Amino acid sequence: MLFRKFGGKNMTSNRLSETQKLAYKENGYLIGLPPVFNRSEVNKLNEGLSELSEFLLPGETHFHMNGWHSSSRWLYDICANPQILDYVEDLLGPDFYMWGTHFFSKKPGSKETVSWHQDAPYWPLNPHNSVTVWVAFTDVDEQNGAMQVISGTHREGLIKHRSSEDSTNVLGLELENSGKKQQSLWYSGPVKFRSMTMP
Ligand SMILES: O=C(O)CCC(=O)C(=O)O
């Protein structure tokens, strides 16, 4: 679906500053934005997720909720949140297409891991001019599954991936050489934006 935004008299929205846009360009990700959802909206997000989970088949997990925005109005509306769209517009320009959604749910004590990866090898897009919006449904920190990024790697283009033999990895691929790179950790703020070629 194509999003085209219409202004409204009473709509207030934060926009990205030039400094934030430059930081995104330089680092490949953006964090530290004001919350998009307040506490009671976050509670509603979790209620909605719980209702949507009832459509999972036996044996399936939240990870199988892939692309469900095309059949769930609730999920579609999260993606079409005006504040999120404004941030994406500030990074991509006014015409963009939202084509994918995916849930990564980290249950307490779970052994599941998400390997170092770029999104680009998974996505049928060319050119790789895309933004991932990562929305946390709970507070996140180092202990409960915050995301990590390797700053600046989006400027290296597509990095070589190999099949992952790690049975705890929920993804099929992993970066061939992530170990040597400097890692940085995300653990603040519920919504983050990331370039498609950023691990
Ligand atoms: O939330 C996560 O741990 C993984 C998310 C992810 O892999 C992604 O946004 O590409």
End-to-end CA distance of the chain: 26
Q: How many angstroms is it from 174 CA to the middle of ligand 1?
A: 12
Residue-number span of the structural domain to which 145 is assigned: 15-194
Closest CA to 60 of 173, 174, 170: 170
Domain assignment of residue 76, yes or no: yes
Residue showing tokens 């507070």: 139
Domain assignment of residue 61, yes or no: yes
Hey, is 169 helix, strand or coil? strand
Predicted confidence (pLDDT) at residue 151 exceeds the cutoff of 50: yes
Domain assignment of residue 8, yes or no: no
Residue with the smallest CA separation from ligand 1 atom 9 is 134
Q: Which atom of ligand 1 is nearest to the CA of 194?
A: 9
Question: pTM of the predicted model, to two decimals?
Answer: 0.87
Q: How many angstroms is it from 12 CA to the middle of ligand 1?
A: 29
Q: How many angstroms is it from 9 CA to the middle of ligand 1?
A: 36
Domain assignment of residue 1, yes or no: no
Number of domains in the chain: 1
Report the chain's mean pLDDT, rounded to a whole number.
86
Handedness of CA 40, 31, 89, 69 (dihedral sign): negative
Q: How many angstroms is it from 117 CA to the middle of ligand 1?
A: 9
Domain assignment of residue 35, yes or no: yes
Q: Which atom of ligand 1 is nearest to the CA of 119?
A: 10
What percent of the chain lies above the pLDDT cut of 70? 87
CATH number of the domain where residue 128 is located:
2.60.120.620
Predicted confidence (pLDDT) at residue 199 exceeds the cutoff of 80: no
Domain assignment of residue 136, yes or no: yes
Closest CA to 157 of 125, 118, 191, 122: 118
Domain assignment of residue 9, yes or no: no
Closest CA to 115 of 172, 61, 193, 154: 172
